[in-house]
Amino acid sequence: LNKTRCTSGLHWKLGSKTTYMRGGVGYEDLLHYGRLTVPSDGIYTVYSYIQFDSYTGNSNLDRPKPEMHVLYKNGDQLVQMNKFMLRQHSYITSQVGPILVELKARDSVHVAVGSMGRFIHNNPQSSVFGMFKL
């Protein structure tokens, strides 16, 4: 996860030990988010887990704030959303999916968060985004 651009959509680092891509699924890094694109029609299981850390670092979270973790299809079609409260001095894990999504060849999915993206935990293994074809 590359949190330097996490104002809404999330970007993901490829080529590290935490990246595993097979079966023709592609990754495209766009201006506002990174997306996974499927090679063929089918039913896919899509999932995302994101850990937020308001405990360490320079947290200026003075009171609980509502946050959301959203999965989109093809740029703007809402697939699933998780709403939660981000509290001061806490670790929160948000989960979207696993959910079955019917996708056509070249369809894409991406993950976004609300305005609290700066609190995403800095460990690359703490946030996951993936899919597989059934």
**Comparing 3-17, 42-56, 78-92, which segment has the lowest mean pLDDT?**
3-17
Residue 133 has pLDDT above 70, yes or no: yes
Pick from 133, 96, 91: nearest CA to 113: 96
**Rounded distance, CA 130 to CA 108, Å?**
12
For 132, other C-beta atoms within 10 Å of its C-beta total 12
Domain over 3-133 is classified CATH 2.60.40.10: no
Q: Where are the domains of the chain?
A: 3-133
| DSSP category for residue 120 | B
Mean pLDDT of 103-112: 95
Assign 3-class secondary structure to 76-111.
CEEEEEEEEEECCCCEEEEEEEEEEEEECCCCEEEE
Summarize pLDDT for 55-87 with one digit per residue, the tens: 765 566 777 888 889 999 998 899 999 998 888
